[in-house]
Structure 1
Amino acid sequence: MTAPAPGPRTGSRTGVTGLLLGCGALAGPLYLVTGFAQAFTRDGFDLARHPFSFLSLGEGGWVQIANFVLTGLLFLAMAFGVRRALAGQRGGTGGPVLLGIFAIGMVGGGVFVADPAFGFPVGAPDGPPEVLSWHGTLHGVAFFAAFPALVAACFVFARRFHGGWSWYCAATGVLSVVPVAFLGSEWGTVLLYAVAVVSWLWVSAIALKLRAEI
């Protein structure tokens, strides 16, 4: 005896949820590939000194601004997809909210650009800015909203899943806070890049995992 085919509303709901989660699956690789492609081609940019945020500055900065905004919107769509996929289940409230904060923080990181510093773009002061601009301040606010939300989401999903996926989520959360102890040191920026690769791909992996379950 075969199971009945899903009705139009059920099939449509599943399709929309899958599409929203697919946005999240795309977002992580898109952000990283676009960011690293610029990092290796922008004059004066040094991965050991400059975070991705600095790519929003100078000639061609619009590419990274668009990268921030588009990736953030894709992750925001994913947050709605997670809410639909996990409605009434463990992690179905906290997970989407945290992912939404992370996504909005990324959009804010693109809208409000960092201040020129540490020799980038070419001609900028070789050290930190003497005075933060209003947009540089809001850029920092966006980062300090998005990053903790992402770390917290790791542990929410660690409780949602079981076995290897639970350990994967927890390990990502722990690894994500390691660079905090090294901020300001010569290794701090390099570690931030390592964490960016791990954590952004983790979000996309969660999107693929939930998409496979619907």
Structure 2
Amino acid sequence: MSSRLTPSISITVRGIQHRLLWAGIIAPILFAAVIIIDGLFKSGYSAADEAISYLEVGVNGWIQQTNFIIFGLLLIVFTVGYILCMRPIVGRVWISIVGIFLVLSHLGWIIAGLFVPNPYLTPQNTVHAILHQLSPIIIFLFLAIASLVLGVKLVFTRRWRAYGWYCLIIGLLMTVFPIVSLVYLITPALVGNFVGNVNSRSPNDGWTNRIVLLVGPIAWYLISATVVMLHVDQKIETSKGLEV
């Protein structure tokens, strides 16, 4: 019995993959929207000076806590679709490795929501605050590894080279953040401007925090979901043509 899918079944499978990939676009947009709105209305909060994590502190802190957790869960849904779509391109073994690293990275967002930092400008030396500070290291480190593995595989793959180079470059850039964050945990003042969680006020820490997140993981999710979705759309159109 042949294991090949008929065109109609193939279209259905790719349609499901397409819907799963949408989570990679919806999640960052929803995440950013909540941050912006919550930051505007949270009393005493300064988006320019404070990292987004401090939205979890105080009145209505549950909003950002929930935002982190939902973001991580949606990204796991996206990863399922991403793995299914990229498996024929990268190979079963390699995409499984990438998938593990991606899920580990997404768990970092959930950890960020479960463990709240201490208030702004206070020592981050409690258990829950330290665990929260570990979350961005988890997010960036494992996403960087996944991106680098993808880059190495895709730069030699026809029609995927541009995306492969993007994964390589952004993967290398994202490795900087875990290193800086680890140094911060040891010597906070040394890298306070980059991380944005020091115990003294530094202008524009909040903007720096947001730019790093935007250029790194958030852009990666949006670009990856869009690129893979476009390839899925092309395959669906090709399958429809064959069916006709």
Change (3 A) 1:207 1:40: same
Counterpart selection for 1:175 from 155, 165, 173: 173
State the TM-score, normalizing by the size of structure 1: 0.81
The answer (yes or no) to whether the contact 1:32–1:197 under 8 Å persists in 2 is no
Which of 1 and 2 has greater Rg?
2
Question: What is the CA distance between 1:111 and its match in structure 2?
Answer: 1.7
Please tell me whether residue 147 in structure 1 is matched to residue 124 in structure 2: no
Aligned to 1:123: none
Distance 2:223 2:19 in 1: 15
Change in CA separation of 1:92 and 1:168 when aligned onto 2, cut-off 3 Å: same
| CA deviation string 1:148-168 (max 9, x = no partner) | 011222212322434432232
Structure 2 counterpart of 1:212: 230
Judged with a 3 Å threshold, the aligned counterparts in structure 2 of structure 1 residues 188 and 144 are, in CA distance, closer, same or farther, namely: closer
* TM-score after normalising by structure 2: 0.72
Aligned AA for 1:211?
A: M
* CA positional deviation for 1:139: 2.1
Gaps of 5+ in 1: 119-126
- Matched with 2:45 is 45
Structure-to-structure mapping, 1:34-183, within 5 angstroms: 34-90=34-90, 91-118=94-121, 127-129=122-124, 131-133=125-127, 135-162=128-155, 163-179=161-177, 180-181=179-180, 183=184
Aligned residues, how many? 200
| Paired residues for 1:182-201 under 5 Å | 183=184, 184-189=191-196, 190=205, 191-199=208-216, 200-201=218-219
Give yes or no for contact 1:175–1:195 (8 Å, CA) kept in 2.
no
Post-superposition Cα deviations, 1:182-213, rounded to whole Å, max 9, x if no partner, equal 85333543433212011212212101111221
Counterpart amino acid of 2:222?
S
* Deviation string, structure 1 residues 26-55 (Cα, Å, up to 9, x no partner): 112222232133233322223454221111
Q: Deviations over 1:97-149 (max 9, x none)?
A: 2211111111121122222231xxxxxxxx324x413x323323333322201
Counterpart of 2:170, as a letter, is: T
Higher helix share: 2
Distance 1:177 1:46 in 2: 28
Query: What letter matches 1:94 in structure 2?
Result: I
Counterpart contact for 1:112–1:136, Cα < 8 Å: yes
Partner amino acid, structure 2, of 1:185: G
